[in-house]
Amino acid sequence: MKRIPLLVSTFLIISACATSPLGRKRILLFGDSTMDSMGVQSFEEIKKKTPIESDPKINAYVKCIALPLLENAGSRIPVSGWEVVVFKDPTPNAFALPGGKIGVHTGMLPVARTADQLAAVIGHEVGHVLAQHGNERVSQGELASLLMGVVDVSLREMDPDKKKLLLGGLGVGLQFGALLPFSRSQESESDLIGLRLMVRSGFDPKQSVELWKNMKASAGGGGPEWLSTHPSPDSRIRTLEAEALKMEAEWKSIRDRGNLPRCSRT
């Protein structure tokens, strides 16, 4: 009987194995419709709790940048249409959710100082949806809970104090040994997917580097990279500089054909 939960979890892991757009192995336990429903519900809750920007110029500017990126994301995201909302929030943040939802905080606009830089932000967030990172994160949480439950059952006869200490150590091990590193991988993956969307949409990929220089300056430093769910700004900048250089010829070809978005806040 004790082996049943382990056998079930092993079956789930094997049956749910998938490959990310950049070839990384991961586990997805939930269907698109489930994730879309969760994304829509979360977005509606955010709209109820956060003021929405009503300035037509700001809304037009953000949508002007988002729409080409979404068009180039194309049929890889199975939703009928996207909703783009600008929230009155001073924090420099943006997000995209399954179900075709994008939110941009007004606090991002002073940091992403040009249309190309804001395209890097939105492209990165759309990259999370394209790569099904939401599904991956929820799946990781489910598997972590399942593993903790299996261990808890198997240690039912252990001294309670020793059991608590062991489970606590396992929880820390899961956090730093699995969940956080995966999240950094997701962030790096989204950077590269977003960069490709930028180029195909006519935005200058080099401006993704400038964006992260601005982000680094606004953040004023942070903790060590191995304790973070994000790559360090310096690590991110180095990677984006190298990738943007590889894509520069493609972007110049698009630019020379005149296929550039014309997005202005004025």
Distance CA 165, CA 210 (A): 46
Task: Classify strands 94-97 and 17-19 as parallel, antiparallel or unpaired.
Answer: unpaired
Q: Is 198 exposed, middle or buried (0-12, 13-18, 19+ CB in 10 A)?
A: buried
DSSP 52: B
Distance CA 95, CA 102 (A): 6
Catalytic residue among 44, 83, 125, 157: 125
- The radius of gyration computed from the CA coordinates of the chain, to the nearest angstrom, equals 21
Distance CA 118, CA 108 (A): 8
225 is catalytic: no
Q: What positions carry a catalytic annotation?
A: 125
